[in-house]
Chain A
Amino acid sequence: MKKVIDAIKKYPFILIFVLILVVFTPYSLFSPGESRKRAVVIAIGLDKIENEYEISFLTFIPSPNQEFQQSNSVVSGKGSSVSEAVLDAQLTLGKDIGLSHAKTTVVNERMLEEDVSSSLDYLMRVVSLPENTVFICTNTTAKELLMATDSLEQNLGLKLDQLVSYNANEVYITDTSLEAFYKGYYSPTKSSLIGYIEHIKDSTQSEQAAPQNQSSSQGSGDSQKSSQTSSSQDGQQGVSDSSEQNSSAVSSGQSENEKQRGSLQGQSQILNKGDAVLLRDGQKVALLDVDNLNSINLLSNKRSLDSITITDVETEDGKKVDMTFMVKNKIVSVKTDFQNNIPLFVANINLGVQQSEIDTKAQKVKQNVQNTQITEEIAQKLEQKIKAEFAKVLQILRENKADVIGVYDSFFTHNRKEFLKFLSSLDDSESFLNDVVFMLNLKIQQDG
């Protein structure tokens, strides 16, 4: 004993170490697991219905199973503010929420009628919603989209954030994370783009599909560019009912009870057409389709899924055909300048295109069109088409005073003094795009 006391006197750190073990070991052993205290949220939905907020959490339920399937459920809460709605959802769930793994944030269009950033503020600052979460908008309610997401994952093995990430890589000029939204929101032009995923509730098909309770992947498709998944939206009605009664609800795509109720519910489809919502001051000002986005992308060196179709091209044998070209290569250099105090935005664009399709209008193709050379007529038609599409999107941007193509930044970086002088000379400096002259110098070549 004396030896032990001597050792402790010599090395008092041992005593501190033992004390820490004595105090914290029982606490650690008997405290419940973190998953019992905190729900792992993988997606958030925020809706505004009349004057009330409804927040929905797609939560991951850790449970032992031998399949490689993740068990998720949608939990929602309502309140007059976002914080109240979150609290309500937590009460329903019986757990705190952990948003570190939240990869998707969905809002409905109603939320974008007002400045959405004020609603997101609580989630960002207080409950630590990560900035790299994908931020998207949907046409119905965010809650319904999250519920449909579960089946998207089961049928296609595709997560919603992956779907939008594909758009971000191939369609949008920028990623559509919450961070990108805020970058646009706090920029001088206050404009940003976020992804748009359409959610279709088809009640006519439900009665045929629901009794089988089968999921069908790949819908018929409204557009060739869209990807769809359809599935029975189990539990959807049940959720609505209970949410009306309790102002909060828990639903799971997995439960048997809900599957039995499936016959009453509509079939749900997630439709990704690659559209994006144009926001200014956090409010929706326009919905941009893929063609609009491709025109915006024209000014970026970033690769995009861009196809251009021109009509009535005369072939060597004098027939009129429609041709579709894919943009394979793109080199863009943007210059800004002032001439006689007029701001010039000049984009020199070298496009390498490849013919991908030819529509001969029911006539037989008698020649190899694989390597069709870009004739002067084709190049001219392509140029006209590209400029016309760009003019359309420019009109949208001008009307909404939204600059998502970086015009402000280019002028501010390269011609700061003149640009600031130019802005101060305008009655409304926010509509500066109206006074900027855009010049597109296109050089279209055969790729390879």
Chain B
Amino acid sequence: MSVVLFKAILVVLLFLISLGIAAYSTYAERKVAAFLQDRIGPDRAGPFGLLQPIADGVKMFLKEEIIPTLSDKFLFILGPSIFMVTTLMVSAVIPWGMPLEFGGEIYALQVADINIGILYILGVVSLGVYGIMIGGWASNNKYALLGAIRASSQMISYELAMGMSVVAILLMTNGSLSLNNIVEAQGTGKLYGFINVSGMNWNVFYQPVAFLIFLICAFAEANRTPFDLPESESELIGGFHTEYSSMKLGLYLFGEYINMFISSAVISCLFFGGYNFPGIDYLGTILPHNIVSIISLLVMFGKIFFFIFLFMWVRWTIPRFRYDQLMRLGWQILMPIAIVNVLLTAAAITLFGN
């Protein structure tokens, strides 16, 4: 099997997994909400309501599709398409697990190991806002336009703090921007220089502040509560997707869940060691290489699922911010903290070495 074929299969698999996880995130969200509010949640379709996402999907596809008469039809369709494409594009640079080995050839579980991985993620994320803006404007509806404007100013504001918090991580991995290198660096060396557990040298233990900033910014970038002002239904009806119906609305809702999935993956890679887990070296000595790779893949997905749960947990716990509070948090609190964090990290590395 050639590497190109393997990558092609990986791309298709990632696409299907992203969609599958997004579909079941909608189910999980309702179950988590029900759990947190002491309800039962969806339980009619299939055992434990497990077929609910399929029922929802069929409903979405079969609904009548309405395109407002005074909307810009081309841009109205372009909006959700851009949103979906950009959310799916990020998964290309994420290392999902340790490389597999078949017949002496090594197959990395990563579509593209480019040496500007982090910048690629920031770039693609910054493009996601076009989907929302174009969709919101093309609807020719003032609520949609307001939602789109809120979304874009929010995403631009939080991108800065997000970028600054990542700089601290980059300083720690000798300036490598490749996600693969960042994850590998967290699998080697001792924690704080003396705790000798293999695969436990995670960045979160050195950079808790950067992690918190990144997490908050990830919530804002994914338009999740407490930062879901672009679609706050009590003020803007539905925000940027007010006029959308049928599967175009479905794409926006799906895109949000894929965003959550991908942000969880990025958070795991940057701060929680990616596919590394405690005792990974020991397992490597007693089990075949490929089995360890598959375990590392499962561990990675375990971490991702935990963060998806965190996203939902926060959504059903914390109320929405007011718009001026959101801006103040982004510019006057997170930005300065992120900059100071970068300076402190740089100073610490200069003084004490790594």
Specify whether A and B are partners. Answer: no
Please list the residues of chain A having a beta carbon within 8 angstroms of any beta carbon in chain B.
none
Please list the residues of chain B having a beta carbon within 8 angstroms of any beta carbon in chain A.
none
